[in-house]
Amino acid sequence: MSHHMTEVKDLHYVYPDGHKAVNGISFKIHHGESVGIIGANGAGKSTLLMLLMGVLFPCQGEVLVGEVLVTKKTLPGIRQRMGMVFQDPDDQLFMTTVYDDVAFGPRNYNLEEKEVEKRVLQALEMVGILHLKDRAPFKLSGGEKRAAAIASVLSLQPDILVMDEPTSALDPKSRRRLMKLLDSFEHTKIITSHDLDMVYELCDRSIVIKDGEIAADGPTSKILVDADLMDACGLEIPLALQNCPVCGRKK
Ligand SMILES: Nc1ncnc2c1ncn2[C@@H]1O[C@H](COP(=O)(O)OP(=O)(O)OP(=O)(O)O)[C@@H](O)[C@H]1O
Ligand SMILES: [Mg+2]
């Protein structure tokens, strides 16, 4: 596996209706880092991830993945290195069976059908939905759809995993399974989430977004305990770090 750095330089994005969603964001993420991107609803997290992945292109600024500028021309190569799980699994699943959805990426890169099958079964096993392989994605529950969307990215074996709210709609066991899986993923992880307990457990670094700008960027252990910062950005300290709600005892 190659060692890619993801770099974002002075990114700006304005939606066609004139809404400014990202206003001058810059950061560097090194290979192997695990980064949580957090912020209130509408802060610009999903827009930022879509700019990283070349789903949207910036009005100003640039995104570099392993020194390659993200453009329409470089996208096929970028997508091979970087896999993204979208916030809404319906944006990701479009085939008639779960198997075909998870096989779509590897088939697109012309892998042999034997290798495709191996990867699909492995990815479904990893997210615990092997039993759903022949089901129609649009008939699955919200959490099952999310697991299928995650499998469709894992089957590409990306170097950089980009996930938009990966634990939302997952039941506690599935959430824990996903967290274990993400923890074992050695490459770069960039995760947006309102599940700050998950960010606290999995991400060494956190970037806080407020109104399309970076409000803070640093070690998660410092950022998530900063009650004033969290409050100013519409967030709360993770439950695991709050006082016991019953007896008020400090954790
Ligand atoms: N297609 C669109 N057209 C116009 N404005 C949009 C569009 N999509 C998002 N926005 C706006 O851009 C801003 C950033 O949205 P974005 O979806 O990036 O937020 P977010 O941080 O991911 O929020 P959430 O936590 O709710 O997922 C919001 O104010 C939103 O209303
Ligand atoms: Mg979002």
164 touches 84 (CB < 8 A): yes
- The reply to whether 96 falls in a domain is yes
pLDDT confidence of residue 22: 98
CATH number of the domain to which 106 belongs = 3.40.50.300
Number of structural domains found in the chain: 1
Is there a domain that residue 243 lies in? Answer: no
Query: Is residue 244 assigned to a domain?
Result: no
- Contact assessment for residue 204 and residue 36, using Cβ atoms and an 8 Å cutoff: no
Identify the residue whose C-alpha is closest to ligand 1 atom 30. Answer: 42
Among 185, 180, 199, 181, CA closest to 238 = 199
Length of the chain: 251
Is-above-0.75 flag for pTM?
Answer: yes
In a domain, 247, yes or no: no
CB within 5 A of ion ligand 2: which residues? 45-46, 87
Q: pLDDT value at position 190?
A: 96
Per-residue pLDDT of the chain (251 residues; tens, 9 = 90+): 445 799 999 999 999 999 999 999 999 999 999 999 999 999 999 999 999 999 999 999 999 998 899 999 999 889 888 999 998 999 999 999 999 999 999 999 889 999 999 999 999 998 899 999 999 999 999 889 999 999 999 999 999 999 999 998 888 988 998 898 888 888 899 999 999 999 999 999 999 999 999 999 999 999 999 999 999 999 998 888 777 667 766 66
Considering the domain boundaries, does residue 105 fall inside one?
yes
Crossing angle of helices 142-154 and 98-108, in 10° steps, is 20
Distance (Å) from CA 84 to ligand 2 centroid: 13
Distance of alpha carbon 35 from alpha carbon 136, whole angstroms: 33
Tell me, using a 6 A CB cutoff, whether residue 39 lines ligand 1: yes
Name which of 150, 148, 158, 160 is nearest 49 in CA terms: 160
Vertex 204: Cα angle to 199 and 207 (nearest 5): 70
Residue 88 counted as domain residue = yes
Nearest CA to ligand 1 atom 27: 41
Task: Write the DSSP symbol of residue 107.
Answer: H
Residue 173 lies in a domain: yes
Closest atom of ligand 1 relative to the 49 alpha carbon: 18
Nearest-ligand number for the alpha carbon of 15 = 1
CA of 164 to the centre of ligand 1 (A): 13
CA of 185 to the centre of ligand 2 (A): 23
Side chain identity at residue 88, one-letter code = D
Instruction: Point out the ligand 1 atom lying closest to the alpha carbon of residue 44.
Output: 18
Domain of residue 16 covers 6-236
Residue-level pLDDT at 2: 46
Ligand nearest to the CA of 39: 1
Does some domain include residue 94?
Answer: yes
